[in-house]
Amino acid sequence: MHLRFNDEELSTLVEMVSLASELANLNPNDEGNAGFSRFEAIESKVLESAKLAGMSDIIEYDHTRNKNRVTEKFQQEAFFQKCIDEFRNNVFWEELMIRLTERDLVRELGEHAYLSLSDEERRKKSEPLEKRYWSKFLKQGVNPLFWIEPNEDA
């Protein structure tokens, strides 16, 4: 099978496979490594084709990993990097809000009672807390959060 791309489409494809490889590389387990290898192999083919098609200004060879990669400069300015940054930001805030809400409900109800709630009951109890956290995070970011060391003598 042969696909033909104009320069703009090829540049977009380079970003797409770079995005996919970056996200696949975030998977830390062994099963993820096998999947990442598949993504990395396709990325390598696309980058090699793009390099041969005249895009060598954005693609360089990484001698330590023996493969092509997009240049640091291209990556910093590329749309796919903005996607990754936005993804990480959204995951951080959502995960923080979910974990704090769960922690508060476990403290209020007890772990056994919390775990025995149905999904619908848990959702009803979580919504007000989640809205409160979202409101605080939107206004103040992480500023209201701080670490309190437990009293080790107690």
Chosen domain end from 58, 77, 96? 77
Helix (H) or strand (E) holding 76: helix 72-77
Do 84 and 73 lie in a common domain?
Answer: no
Whole-number pLDDT of residue 130: 93
Do 128 and 108 lie in a common domain?
Answer: yes
Does residue 150 sit within a domain? no
Does residue 152 sit within a domain? no
Do 85 and 51 lie in a common domain?
Answer: no
Do 68 and 102 lie in a common domain?
Answer: no
How far CA 154 is from CA of 106, 107, 108, 148, 151, in Å, comes to 22, 19, 22, 14, 6
Does residue 147 sit within a domain? no
| Residue-range definition of the domain harbouring residue 118 | 80-140
**Alpha-carbon gap, residue 126 to 124, rounded angstroms:** 6
Q: pTM for the complete prediction? A: 0.66
Do 69 and 89 lie in a common domain?
Answer: no
Number of domains in the chain: 2
- Give residue 48's region: left, alpha or beta (phi > 0; psi -120 to 50): alpha
Does residue 58 sit within a domain? yes
Angle (nearest 5°) at CA 93 between 89 and 99:
140
Does residue 153 sit within a domain? no
Do 16 and 33 lie in a common domain?
Answer: yes
What does each of the 154 residues of the chain score in pLDDT, given as a tens digit? Answer: 788 888 889 989 999 998 888 888 877 666 656 777 888 888 988 999 999 999 889 999 888 888 888 999 988 888 988 888 898 899 999 999 999 999 999 999 999 999 999 999 999 999 999 999 999 888 988 887 877 887 766 5
